[in-house]
Structure 1
Amino acid sequence: MQKIVKTVPLFSHQSPKSSEIVEKLKSIVVSKLAQAQKNKNRINIEIPCLNQRVNLIKDYDSSCNAVNHFSEFLSNNAGLALLNDHPISMNKPLITSGVLQLLQFKDSRHDPTLINQSFWHACSLVLAATLETSFKESFNLRITHVPACSIEQGSFYAEFTTTEPLPILSIYDMESLSLVAQKLISLKLRFLPVSLDDIEAKTVLNLAEPITYAMIGDKFAYKIPDNSPELFANTSLFSRFSVTKLIEIEGAGKYNYRIFGVALPNAFVTHESTFEKLVHSSRQL
């Protein structure tokens, strides 16, 4: 049986199309931030947990920026924010004044559902980045779907197509992919939503409809469904991550696959055997 080599490079070269999208999105972000800074419209943000108020630049400063004025520790450890009781990514520029609350794991003051959903979706995005890192150059891999999975499903997943059939993956191959994922996580990559209206989508990416991308650091970007949770803050809040199973599925491409994984945030330290039970359960799904 063909094996995947253990020495998978940390970053494979992206195809021109994929890298072009990333570069265009980066350009859009820089342009929008520069325009917001030039306009200098201001908003007022109240942060009750810190008993503080801060005046920020509208459409430029994020929740992370707001909190970082007073507590770098809290800024680095919040996975999601609520602005006027509505969830918002920690890295998304703020566009209105209001009351800002921070969501962390093990926070008895807030329902953990929102942050758990956000984390689980972020895991699917990291899984997609792991695939691109490992297979893109050899198999012309293309990510087709990064869904917002529920924790109750027992596993997150991503779907992709290739022009060549993948080899049968052994448990050792899965462990190799898991190591690639852990290396990506260690880079402390932030998740940034980039929404394009219909004009931007058409002129920048030649797309007919408005679209939202999730950028991971400055190397990966994936289309996300409209019903996706608000994006998680940063991979620095990840702990254990394991790629568990690969299956072939029906689809429009020549070879279509779905890959699964499980993970835990760093707020939940668990025994090795407990996490292995989660991995085993995922493989049985």
Structure 2
Amino acid sequence: MEKKRQKQSVGRIEKIEIRYLGLPEDVTLVMNKGISTPYNCAQHLSEGHCKRSALALLDGNLIWDMHRPLEDSCTLQLLNFTIAEPHAVNRVFWRTCSFMLGSALNNAFKDEAGLELHSFPSPNVKSGSFVHDVVLSVKGWQPNEKEMRAFSTEMVKLALRDVKIERLDVNLELALEIFNDNRFKKEHLPNIASNNNGKITLYRVGNHIDISKGPMVGSTGFLGKCTISSAHQIGDDGENRGIYRFQGVALPTGIKLNHFAFDILVKRSRKLNPARLPTEPYEDSSLNRLLA
């Protein structure tokens, strides 16, 4: 509803020129300011561009979500996972995996588990795992192999659905309403808004919504081979509930790796990720950890 309201509030539609740089040739597209997205630009090029493009690059230096409306005339490059310099795309993919893991955990746990999503750290591909930290109503829980497979299955199911990942900036009042049942996010929302011109940047996949500065890849369909490999208890919340760090490893769709090599990555991903723990103090008031 909020996205629809914002779209309707655009008012008089202005035209902008988007200069696409890439194959099969450079071309200038006339698009709608505040409405058209990089994905809409890709639709004017080919179906292949729509399927391959995970991210957009504006004016050669600004990473942009595929489904985020364009605000001004600019140059546009469409990025995939086979480009010569994939570092930025890989970081965004890692962030998206953490975001998707939050959705998968919500779907996997029954209500009696008392799951509360806490946050996920900024992506660090070199760490060997993507991460999502949560709170459960039990301490000392050690998941068995069947349970770990269930988490991986939820990730794969989400990928197969090929759900669009959408970004939306909302005001503090609406964000507080959305996260009314999550004490961790609700506590920090005012501070986040104060450091972001009064706005909270949210991402949505299906019914799952979380806070992140982004960007994210355009769809869950970019997730290929994936394993959720470990769940470490890393503390408690002071109310006799355990804080757990879920970790996993994944490859983008279309990137091939044999079973032996991928198993090495899985084993490495089980080691406790060294990212800042939820129980550790923040270095500054910007709360970057909640804005991964």
Q: TM bucket by the smaller chain?
A: 0.7 to 0.9
Letter matched to residue 95 of structure 2:
H
Change (3 A) 1:266 1:59: same
Q: Give the TM-score of the pair, scaled to structure 1.
A: 0.82
**Which runs of no fewer than 5 residues in structure 2 stay unpaired?**
181-188, 194-198, 273-292
**2:28 maps to 1:40:** no
Q: Kindly state the Cα deviation for residue 186 of structure 1 after the two structures are TM-superposed.
A: 0.5
Q: Kindly state the Cα deviation for residue 255 of structure 1 after the two structures are TM-superposed.
A: 2.1
Change (3 A) 1:278 1:99: same
Q: 2:169 aligns with which of 195, 199, 203?
A: 195
Q: 2:44 aligns with which of 69, 86, 107?
A: 69
**2:238 maps to 1:264:** no
Instruction: Report the Cα distance in structure 1 between the residues aligned to 2:225 and 2:34, rounded to whole angstroms.
Output: 34
**Which runs of no fewer than 5 residues in structure 1 stay unpaired?**
1-26
Identity of aligned residues (%): 23
Change (3 A) 1:203 1:157: closer
Q: Is the 8 A contact 1:45 1:54 kept in 2?
A: yes
Instruction: Report the Cα distance in structure 2 between the residues aligned to 1:232 and 1:142, rounded to whole angstroms.
Output: 24
Letter matched to residue 232 of structure 2:
I
**1:125-136 to 2 correspondence within 5 Å?**
125-136=99-110
State the Cα RMSD in Å.
2.1
Correspondence for 2:268: 281
Instruction: Report the Cα distance in structure 2 between the residues aligned to 1:56 and 1:47, rounded to whole angstroms.
Output: 12
SS at match of 1:250: strand
Deviations 1:105-140 (A, max 9, x none): 1112xx211100000000101111110001152312
**1:201-240 to 2 correspondence within 5 Å?**
201=175, 208=190, 209=193, 210-216=199-205, 218-224=206-212, 226=213, 229-240=214-225
Q: Give the TM-score of the pair, scaled to structure 2.
A: 0.80
Change (3 A) 1:202 1:175: closer
Instruction: Report the Cα distance in structure 1 between the residues aligned to 2:109 and 2:139, rounded to whole angstroms.
Output: 11
Q: Is the 8 A contact 2:140 2:233 kept in 1?
A: no
Instruction: Report the Cα distance in structure 2 between the residues aligned to 1:166 and 1:91, rounded to whole angstroms.
Output: 41
Change (3 A) 1:136 1:82: farther
Q: Kindly state the Cα deviation for residue 271 of structure 1 after the two structures are TM-superposed.
A: 0.8
Q: Kindly state the Cα deviation for residue 35 of structure 1 after the two structures are TM-superposed.
A: 2.4
Query: Would you say how many aligned residue pairs link Structure 1 and Structure 2?
Result: 252
Q: Is the 8 A contact 1:136 1:142 kept in 2?
A: no
Instruction: Report the Cα distance in structure 1 between the residues aligned to 2:128 and 2:94, rounded to whole angstroms.
Output: 10
Change (3 A) 1:133 1:84: same
Correspondence for 1:8: none
